[in-house]
């Protein structure tokens, strides 16, 4: 049986429940009782944390169910058809011309050995190829023939995302499904891609579903928003309505967790004149010739929190790596507060110098040895006693039960907290945080940042926090540094940088951030 859609509707979910195959009936389903209709030409954003079921829902709209999942009950109707039971022939007719999906991973969605043009030849046939392809590439902002013969590795992240978009739109689908369209891109480039999508949607009038963990992204291109949590749609309504007056608890938490430029997470603490790090004319060269950092001057006092902002390739991670000794300094000087020369190789540094600078990395899945328990990971090199480990875990909000857990039994936020506890056990004077929350859900991010703020006040240690999110940094740090192509383009107190930015790149980031906050 197929639920009948009205003439104006393009997609219908009625009472859809999806479970993991062979799992007990009382376990929590992946999707639970989803009811959703989409009008032709309508734009819908789906937002939720990881594991909320948003990607499963999006794939189901394209008639795809991941292996290991079963449709327990309900029906999915896309343009009058149940795609789940459609034959291969019917599907290949529908894909591209009626429904098109742009998958999340831009790195893997293009075939490395095919040119941009070859990617199109499967979708468009005959002599019209070149014209149609040129036309749709121009529409997504990649005008000119030069892009036709490029290979994926010759394209930037933003260009790849645009090619994928052009591929999806070349056969003029009525429904476009986007999975995290900007999560792999820098903020400014992601914002440009979203503007393009918005423009195309307005001119072509296709219906659109955009899934993202980022409320800012979905609100920029969709009139309606569905908020998902644990497999359910907990709130559905007009974007402005949902953002301004959220009714469900989860939505409230989600909206309030988004970092805002004018809302401090951490109050500035007491600083004294004890310096913990000085660098003068610092230069770092990565590989053979790439200048990652070019003549940088920097000084950090005890208890001070410094934020570094920059897009990928700006050299912000290289700077952190050089400070902690993982990357060697090419020119200039780098000293700690006692005057110890930090340009010496890691192995040559005395133990107390090593412990005085600790770093927490971006990827929670990578920061703990998968074969060890948390207690083992935390005590192995810090030589901390059991009680020290427990109290360090407690200080980052993890109870005793985590001592014996292994990374696979923990969530991303918990792993990142354990990594912070491990860094603190070395009793550092300077803690380097490299995008520590960028892989986490917004609500989890807010909680981790809160923990970091408490720890910073209690221990009065200096921190350098690197992030692409200017609002997050502005709400946490005392001083902001903006890096671009390895050079310092802006530096100052939070107020000075956010109120009167001098550099155009900083202004652009602030604009994007402000736009998101006001939607």
Partner 1 sequence: MKTLLRLNFLKNRALIFATLGMHAFVALLAPYLRLSSTDSQDSAALLQGPSLNHWLGTDSLGRDVFSRLLHGGRPSLVIAFAATAISCLIGIVIGSVAALAGGWIDDALSRVIDFMLALPTLILLLLISSFFGQDPLILSVALGLMYASPIARVARSATQTLLARDFIRVARLQGGSRISILFGEVMPNVWRVMFTEVAMQFTWILLAFSSLSFLGLGASPPTPEWGLMIAESRSYMTLNPLLVIAPIMMLASLVLAIQALVDHE
Between 136 and 377, CB nearer to partner 1: 377
| 224: phi then psi, degrees, rounded to nearest 5 | -115, 150
List the one residue from 4, 369, 386, 391 that touches partner 1 (CB under 8 A): 369
Under a CB-based contact definition with an 8 Å cutoff, are residues 16 and 74 in contact? yes
Between 340 and 361, CB nearer to partner 1: 361
- Residue 328, CA distances (Å) to 240, 259, 335, 430, 481 in order: 49, 34, 13, 18, 22
Restricting to residues 325-344, name those near partner 1 by CB under 8 A.
325-326
What's the token pair of residue 427?
């009793």
Query: Which listed range, 192-200, 276-284, 321-329, 388-396, lies at the site for partner 1 (CB under 8 A)?
Result: 321-329
List the one residue from 20, 70, 354, 517 that touches partner 1 (CB under 8 A): 354
Restricting to residues 415-444, name those near partner 1 by CB under 8 A.
419, 422-423, 426
Name the minimum Å distance from CB 324 to partner 1: 6
Spatial distance between the Cα atoms of 191 and 182, rounded to a whole number of angstroms = 8
148 CB contacts (<8 Å, ≥6 apart)? 115, 116, 117, 130, 133, 134, 137
* Total site size for partner 1, rule CB under 8 A: 29
Q: Which residue's entry shows tokens 């639970």? A: 32
Longest dimension (CA), the chain: 77
Spatial distance between the Cα atoms of 390 and 394, rounded to a whole number of angstroms = 6
380 lies in the binding site for partner 1 (CB under 8 A): yes
Name the minimum Å distance from CB 360 to partner 1: 8
381 lies in the binding site for partner 1 (CB under 8 A): yes
Under a CB-based contact definition with an 8 Å cutoff, are residues 292 and 422 in contact? no
Name the minimum Å distance from CB 355 to partner 1: 7
Under a CB-based contact definition with an 8 Å cutoff, are residues 47 and 228 in contact? yes
Name the minimum Å distance from CB 301 to partner 1: 22
404 lies in the binding site for partner 1 (CB under 8 A): no
For 109-231, strand residue ranges (E) read 175-179, 207-212, 224-229
Q: Which residue's entry shows tokens 């408490």? A: 454
Between 158 and 407, CB nearer to partner 1: 407
Query: Which listed range, 146-154, 268-276, 324-332, 449-457, lies at the site for partner 1 (CB under 8 A)?
Result: 324-332
Spatial distance between the Cα atoms of 367 and 180, rounded to a whole number of angstroms = 24
Between 97 and 362, CB nearer to partner 1: 362
Name the minimum Å distance from CB 374 to partner 1: 12
367 lies in the binding site for partner 1 (CB under 8 A): yes
| 230: phi then psi, degrees, rounded to nearest 5 | 50, 45
List the one residue from 251, 377, 491, 506 that touches partner 1 (CB under 8 A): 377
Restricting to residues 287-316, name those near partner 1 by CB under 8 A.
none
Name the minimum Å distance from CB 367 to partner 1: 5
Q: Which residues bind partner 1 (CB under 8 A)?
A: 324-326, 346-347, 351, 354-355, 357-359, 361-363, 366-372, 377, 380-382, 419, 422-423, 426
């Amino acid at each position: 049986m197929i639920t009948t859609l009205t003439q104006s509707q393009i997609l219908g979910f009625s009472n859809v429940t999806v479970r993991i195959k062979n799992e007990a009936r009382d376990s929590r389903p992946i999707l639970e009782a989803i009811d959703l209709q989409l009008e032709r030409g309508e734009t819908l954003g789906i937002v939720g944390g990881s594991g909320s079921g948003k990607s499963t829902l999006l794939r189901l709209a394209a008639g795809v169910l991941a292996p290991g999942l079963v449709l327990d009950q309900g029906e999915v109707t896309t343009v009058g058809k149940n795609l789940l039971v459609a034959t291969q022939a019917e599907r290949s007719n529908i894909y591209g011309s009626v429904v098109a999906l742009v998958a999340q991973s831009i790195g893997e969605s293009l075939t490395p050995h095919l040119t941009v043009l070859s990617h199109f030849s499967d979708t468009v046939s005959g002599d019209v190829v070149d014209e149609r392809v040129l036309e749709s590439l121009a529409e997504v902002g990649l005008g000119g023939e030069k892009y036709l013969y490029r290979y994926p590795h010759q394209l930037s992240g933003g260009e790849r995302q645009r090619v994928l978009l052009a591929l999806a739109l070349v056969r003029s689908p009525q429904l476009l499904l986007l999975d995290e369209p900007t999560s792999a891109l820098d903020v400014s480039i992601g914002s440009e891609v979203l503007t393009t999508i918005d423009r195309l949607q307005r001119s072509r009038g296709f219906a659109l579903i955009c899934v993202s963990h980022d409320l800012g992204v979905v609100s920029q291109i969709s009139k309606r928003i569905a908020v998902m949590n644990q497999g359910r749609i907990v709130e559905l309504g007009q974007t402005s309505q949902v953002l301004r007056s959220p009714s469900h608890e989860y939505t409230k938490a989600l909206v309030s967790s988004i970092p805002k430029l004018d809302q401090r997470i951490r109050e500035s603490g007491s600083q004294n004149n004890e310096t913990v790090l000085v660098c003068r004319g610092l230069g770092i060269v990565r590989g053979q010739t790439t200048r990652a950092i070019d003549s940088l001057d920097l000084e950090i006092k005890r208890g001070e929190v410094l934020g570094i902002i920059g897009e990928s390739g700006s050299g912000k991670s290289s700077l952190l790596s050089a400070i902690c000794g993982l990357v060697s300094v090419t020119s200039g000087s780098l000293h700690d507060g006692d005057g110890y020369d930090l340009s010496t190789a890691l192995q040559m540094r005395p133990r107390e110098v090593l412990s005085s600078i600790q770093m927490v990395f971006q990827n929670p899945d990578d920061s703990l040895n998968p074969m060890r328990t948390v207690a083992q990971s935390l005590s192995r090199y810090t030589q901390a006693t059991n009680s020290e480990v427990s109290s360090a875990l407690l200080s980052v909000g993890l109870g005793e039960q985590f001592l014996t857990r292994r990374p696979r039994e923990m969530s991303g936020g918990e792993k990142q907290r354990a990594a912070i506890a491990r860094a603190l056990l070395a009793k550092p004077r300077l803690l380097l945080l490299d995008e520590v929350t960028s892989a986490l859900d917004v609500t989890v991010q807010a909680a981790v940042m809160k923990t970091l703020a408490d720890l910073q006040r209690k221990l009065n240690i200096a921190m350098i926090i690197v992030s692409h999110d200017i609002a997050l940094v502005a709400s946490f740090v005392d001083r902001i540094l903006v890096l671009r192509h390895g050079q310092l383009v802006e530096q100052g107190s939070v107020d000075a940088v956010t109120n009167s930015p001098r550099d155009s790149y900083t202004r652009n980031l602030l604009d994007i951030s402000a736009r998101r906050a006001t939607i």
